[in-house]
A and B are shown apart, each in its own frame.
Chain A
Amino acid sequence: MSETVLSDSTSPARATAPVDERLAYRSVFQRLLIRPEIGALIGLVGIWVFFWATSVPFGTANAAASILDVAATLGIMAVAVSMLMIGGEFDLSTGAMTGAMGILIILLVKEVGDLGGAGLSLFIAIPISLAVALAIGFFNGWMVEKTLLPSFIVTLGTFFIVKGAKLGFSKLTVDQIQVGRIDEGAGYSFWRPIFAAEWDRTKHQYEYRDVIYTLGLIIGLMIIAVAVFELFFQRRGERRPTGALAFVIGLAGLYGGVAVLHLTDGYGGNLLASVMFGVFGLLAVVGLGYWRYEPVGDRGRLSLDGTVSRPLVLAVVLFALAIAVAMILDATNNESLFFPFTEQGLRATLFLFLIGGSMTLMLIAGIRARRLSITTKTLVNLVSAAMLGLLAFFVRSQSDSIKFRTEAFSVLLILATIVAVWSIAGVLFAERTAIDRAADRLGGRLFIIGSLLVVVAFLAKLLFTTTAEIDAGLASSKFSMRIIWFFGFTAVMVWVLGRTRFGSWTFAVGGNKEAARQVGVPAARTKTQLFMLTAGAAWLVGMLLAFRLNTIQASTGDGQEFEYIIAAVVGGTLLTGGYGTALGGALGAIIMAMAQLGIPYSRWNSDWRFMFLGAILLIAVVANRFIRNKAEALRR
């Protein structure tokens, strides 16, 4: 997201030709909304909340470790496959390649003998296996370029060859359909930590963890809030110091509110904290705005038309329905009713979907109301805030689970406060309507700093434990090295796609290969390199699997290639090429891992798993398209 902000601000063409519709100014939210991965991001949060609500252990660090463990190998491949799909090609051999590379490395290091391989050191075997992977990738690209056949067909052939070779070589060398014992290879102790180290959370106690978490989260979010202001509102020529003073007092008050929330445990404490959040948040926001930004000129009059009132009314109806569902269904009945649902599961699911629908409609109403007048928009948003607040107290009063009574209550109240404060800020200060390079730069940097702080806060919470938690008997949870490979690979690929010439070429050859070639893009080379990238990613996953499992089945990875493609599509990459992101593939993989593990976490029968996955896929694709259309429409 931070990159969005920067990429638009640093584009040199922007200021010179403002008449072009494509170069018209877009606000920070519009820029965010037209990102291809925004649908996946919303889906990620939605599905997390869904399973958090239906399953007791889903929100724990343990579950996070499991989900990321599953998502890592899937995600590395999904990111690479996303890039290839942006480049307009498919690779069906990716799944089988992961297992093949795992088998290859083991056969290379296995002892020479009756049942054995080449007996090489891992220091030699690892580069050799990488070279083999890249050669297969090169072959795929070369075949596609030379024969001009669809890559779907060519790589289907490669898929069968690789799959057959896995089985054939396994049986030829060890007479088994599995190949094992990489740990006998020379250099194993050096390479194992690189591919398969584990971080055991229970062995790392850090008593100040919660302090770091709370401070990092709050300061990070505040900096992000300031960044959003900077990016969204029109700077004024002359600053007002009184505003700055009010801003600082507001911040201090918010800090006090957090302290109250943390130090007290009860209804009164939460109420006091929320009042403090409201009052001091407002003070900080108004102070910040008064200090730096232009006041709004024309607020317009209150006016409602069908485009706004319809979603508004529907949202209220859904909201009432959700409340009714929660009141009628029994929260304690754990018997299966139909499908995989127990009565309480059904209650949670219906409630969440209805509330989710209601809030989405309120968001739509709010966006549409912007076109009518600022006053209307503010009123609609205040209604949203009121609904969120009401929801917070309803959840608190109706729920038996401690999770809902505390965490959900606080989050909802804070959300309500943010929406309310934001609507008030919107009625006081003027939106920016033109590009302001200095403001964009500052806002972008603040955004990055704030995001980093939030990330640090979450990392502290996930990676460390406290004595209190250990005393409460928490299960051990291990974060595996592959998660770092996953994040690192994703970060590098996001950079490659967004910042390098190769990235631009990828979009160009995927959009229109002939046109790209005619303007001088080396189309054949770019596509071949993309095939080598997916093969290289498969090699990486093969290493991660081999060092983790020690034994690889000949069937490993078969059929997974479609999961990679699904993850890429869920992440907002188009099947037709030329559009998509690397980050989206990673988010798609996390969504799929959550969906897959959420079902056993919720104690549902996994017979329904594929139905669920299919539904997520459809919803994701439809939502991506919907959001993109809405965002495009907003620009006009």
Chain B
Amino acid sequence: MNGETDITGAGGVPDPVTADLRLSVNGVPRPVTVDTRETLLDTLRESLGLTGAKKGCDHGQCGACTVLVDGRRALSCLTLTVTADDVEIVTVEGLADGDALHPLQAAFVENDAFQCGYCTPGQLCSAVGALAEAAEGWPSAVTPGLSAPPRLDETEIRERMSGNLCRCGAYPGIVAAVGQVAR
């Protein structure tokens, strides 16, 4: 698709359209001017210095960019920042309470739930979201029925975490860590 548009003619390519936003990230107001084409992932990483959320595919296929938006899992690479000005964003940098790790963070270290660490922030945010979804009774594709709240056994955890790829293959540790916190 390269070079198919005529950019030499009248009008050419317009200047970028920007918007002034006041994001709320990890409980902190973050005023920022963004290009309207900009994804939340790029804003977090390139403008706000919050490089915890990772870019693994930029197409919503790997989960490395997962953050929490109003408590729900969201793929920040598929979220335009201009749509995120009235929501609460939490990234991996916002999970710990000061020096005290979030129980999932501690469980990931304890269970060696990562190797290279690049998918880890997304796995952690996804796990926080998954536990909240289960606590609210959301079923998954492997939940046996809708009459009882889902029980977070190993298969449920594997299914609910299956949007987050880990090429190192740290899944046994990830599943164990999430299970440890779920109990």
B partners with A: no
